[in-house]
Amino acid sequence: MRQEASVEFKNHPQQRQTWEATALLHEHAAQQVGAFRVWASETLDEDLTKSLKWRFWPLVTLAIFVLYVASILPGWVVLLSLTWHAVLLKRFQPTIESVAGRTTALGFTLTAYSELLELAEKAPYASRWWIQRKSMIDGSARALKEVGALFEKLDYRNNVFFSLFVGIPSLWDLHCIAALEKWKKTHHVRLTEWLDVLADTEAMNSISGHAFSYPQYCIPQVTWDNGVNIQAKNMGHPLIQPEKRISNDFAMNGMGQTILVTGSNMSGKSTFLRTIGLNIVLAQMGTVVSANQFSCSPVRVFSSMRTQDSLEENTSSFYAELKRLRQLLEMAEEPHQAPVFYLLDEILKGTNSADRHRGAEALIKQLHPKNSAGFVSTHDLELGEWGATENYVHNFHFRSDMENGKLHFDYKLHAGICRSFNASELMRMMGIDMDSTK
């Protein structure tokens, strides 16, 4: 359904650009979402709710004033009635100040949301995905304009003259609070739906914008298989410019499979893992992917890349990676979930070669019977040799070659274990005399 909606949104670039321009005109639109949700869920104290009926007391005060003008009642009765006004306002003062303190910021947000929802209500889309959401926002723009106007009215209290000559005599603040509470009672349940539709529309505009910008990308097929099934032809990294991108074919089918990727530095191992992960995420979002053909079964993508040490948590990069691997094992054991598709880059690089080899081998063995499959990149040739003896481990590599004294990378995925490494040549190029070790 998101794929259908993405195609539909893509074919209306003017509508998407109008939406984006409207949102950009409101700088603070995204800053008060949490505050608005909190305010809408707040409930007024029961005693204060009962006291709101006193907001009509100004009618009594007006009658007393008329009787005073007619010389029927003494002036102190008018003053006593106005004193009661002050007492009522004093009682509501914490609540009024709490709401009034947020009116300006919330007003900006509500103005932006009402304009965006008005655009959404008038949008020409007819896909199933959109029809579901449009039914949730009928009347939403009008409702948000209404509450925005109430916030604006409450803001009048900041004018001293208004407070003295209108606010206190009319109990203006109590009328505003009562109207806001009535609005919340009527609309707070639907408010979450409105905000969700706004978020979904924003996301769909991004998805369709991506599809519009890359018309050469394909719409992926989702195959509802049990297990991990990925088929890709001419797949490339979606963030690399087309003229620089090197694409590869790839296929994987079955649970418990691990693909070991070996290769020299800068040969493309990490980029290839990111390429697969990003395209699977894009496919499952419902947008186009950087490939000529692409299909995948639903999976939970899990990555362990660029793990870093933390001075604050007193952890090394190796320990940080171990924590990620523990999380992977826990996810792979969760029942009734989609398979985990893992991408482990330079596995256990923070320890010595012997422990790295034993640890990686043990992890792959442990993952084999679980609800998972994925990739492991490594410089460890011994791990590749071990993998060649296991039917659930498959070796692939990226190579580098020396041509006229320069390193050359083809960035193409090849079957088997890498036999060409460039670390020595790179060190020699940087001035390290590798022959001095002989």
CATH number for the domain spanning 231: value is 3.40.50.300
* One domain, residues 381 and 267: yes
* One domain, residues 374 and 242: yes
- Res 437 pLDDT > 60: no
pLDDT at 314 (0 to 100): 46
pLDDT-above-90 percentage for the chain: 37
- Res 394 pLDDT > 90: yes
Tokens 């199933």 -> residue: 128
- Final residue belonging to a domain, choices 179, 213, 247: 213
CB-based contacts of 248, cutoff 8 Å, min separation 6? 232, 234, 235, 236, 272, 275, 412, 413
Per-residue pLDDT reduced to its tens digit, 293-346: 999 999 999 998 876 555 455 457 777 888 888 999 999 999 889 999 999 988
- Final residue belonging to a domain, choices 170, 194, 213: 213
d(CA 231, CA 428): 40
Which candidate, 426, 433, 410, 83, places its Cα nearest to that of 268? 410
In the Cβ-directed half-sphere of 410, how many Cα atoms lie within 13 Å?
A: 12
The neighbouring-strand residues paired with 402 are 407
pLDDT at 130 (0 to 100): 95
Q: CA 72 → CA 65, 79, 144, distances in Å?
A: 10, 15, 47
pLDDT at 87 (0 to 100): 86
AA identity, residue 282: L
Strand 221-222 with 293-296, pairing: parallel
* One domain, residues 308 and 416: yes
User: What's the DSSP call for residue 404?
Assistant: T
- Res 139 pLDDT > 60: yes
- Res 355 pLDDT > 70: yes
* One domain, residues 52 and 196: yes
Confidence of residue 435 (pLDDT cuts 50, 70, 90): low
What average pLDDT is seen over the chain? 85
* One domain, residues 299 and 424: yes
Domain of 36?
2-213
pLDDT, average across residues 99-103: 67
pLDDT at 251 (0 to 100): 93
pLDDT at 103 (0 to 100): 63
d(CA 223, CA 227): 10
Per-residue pLDDT reduced to its tens digit, 48-80: 788 888 888 889 989 988 998 888 888 899 899
* One domain, residues 362 and 380: yes
* One domain, residues 261 and 207: no
Which candidate, 230, 190, 264, places its Cα nearest to that of 375? 230
* One domain, residues 226 and 174: no
* One domain, residues 342 and 195: no
- Final residue belonging to a domain, choices 152, 186, 213: 213
What is the domain count for the chain?
Answer: 2
Overall pTM surpassing 0.95 (yes/no): no
